[in-house]
Structure 1
Amino acid sequence: MIKVSVMYPNSEDVVFDKEYYCNKHVPLVSKLLGDALKNAQVDFGLAGGVPGTPALYVVITQMTFDSIEAFQSIFAVHAEEILSDIPNFTNSQPQIQISEIII
C-alpha cells in the first residue's frame, strides 16, 4: 500500500475555503479516482509544534492506493479536472509526497 499526501502550505496570506474543499473538491476527487482510492483522510492544521506558532500546512489530505502505478494511472486520466479545481478553494500551491506504508 502507498499513501499520497497532498499538503497545502500555510502562510499569512493563504486563503482556504474548507467548506468548498470538504463538500465539493474531496467528493469530486473521490468520484474520479473511483475504486483505485482505498481511503482518504483530511486534516486541517491547528498549530505548529512550538506553542504559539502556526501550522506548517493549512490542510494535509492523505489518500491510500494499492500501488504507485494504481495511483498514477488513474490520476493521469483525471489530473486536469482535479488540478483545475484548486483555484476554487485556495491560493496555496499543493505539495505532493508518495510514501510506502510500513506499519
Structure 2
Amino acid sequence: MKFTLIFSLLIFAACLIGFGQKKQHDMAVTEKGLIKITIMYPYAEGKTFNMAYYESKHMPMVAGYIGSNLVKYTIEKGLSGIAPDQPLPFMAVGTFYVKSLSEYQAAVGPHRDAIRADFANYTNALPVILVSEVIK
C-alpha cells in the first residue's frame, strides 16, 4: 500500500511538471511575432518607484489607450542584481505585448504628454524603453 501511494504521488508530480512545460511552450507560441514594448526604470541612489500606483493607475491607463491591439501586459518588481554584491539594475519593468507597432504608436501618440506627466505620480527615474519583436 505504501508503494502504491508513493507511485501515485510520483505520477501526479510528473503530470504537474509536464503540464507546466506544455503551458510554457504554448505561451511562447502565442507570443511569437508580437511586438514587445519594454519600459525599464533604472535604479540609482535617490530614485524612487511607487509600485502600487504603477500597478493600479499608470499601466491600466496606458493599456486603455492601446485598446484592442493589446494582447497583454506585465509588471515586474526588481529584487536584486545577478550577484549578491551587485546593485539592483532596475527598480521595475513594465511590458506591453501588442499585435502591431504602427497601431500602438497611433494609439499612444496623442496621449504621450499625459503618459509622461503621470510619471511624477510614481517615479523620479527616467525610463529606458526597448521596442522589440518576440522571436520565440
- What's the TM-score, normalizing by structure 1? 0.93
Please name the residue that 1:52 is paired with: 85
Please give the TM-score of this superposition, normalised by the length of structure 2: 0.71
| Structure-to-structure mapping, 1:6-17, within 5 angstroms | 6-17=39-50
Report the Cα distance in structure 1 between the residues aligned to 2:89 and 2:62, rounded to whole angstroms.
Answer: 24
Q: Name the CA distance, whole Å, in 1 between partners of 2:103 and 2:85.
A: 40
For the pair 1:86 / 2:100, whether they are aligned, the reply is no
User: Paired residues, what number?
Assistant: 103
Answer with 2-11 or 23-32: which moved more: 23-32
Structure 2 counterpart of 1:63: 96
Give the C-alpha shift of residue 53 in structure 1. Answer: 2.2
Looking at secondary structure, tell me which structure has more helix per residue: 2
Q: Is the 8 A contact 2:62 2:108 kept in 1?
A: no
Structure with a larger share of its residues in strand: 1
Q: For residues 26 and 13 of structure 1, what CA distance do their matches in structure 2 show?
A: 23
84-93 or 51-60: which moved more? 51-60
List alignment gaps of at least 5 residues for structure 1: none
Q: Please list, as runs of the form range in 1=range in 2, the aligned pairs for 1:16-31 lying within 5 A after superposition.
A: 16-31=49-64
Give 2:75's aligned residue.
42
Spell out structure 1 runs of 4+ moving beyond 4 A: none
Q: CA RMSD in A?
A: 1.1
Secondary structure at the counterpart of residue 91 of structure 2: strand
For 2:111 and 2:37, locate their aligned partners in 1 and report how far apart those are by CA, in whole Å.
16
- Aligned-partner residue type, residue 116 of structure 2: L
What is the identity percentage for the equivalent residue pairs of Structure 1 and Structure 2? 32
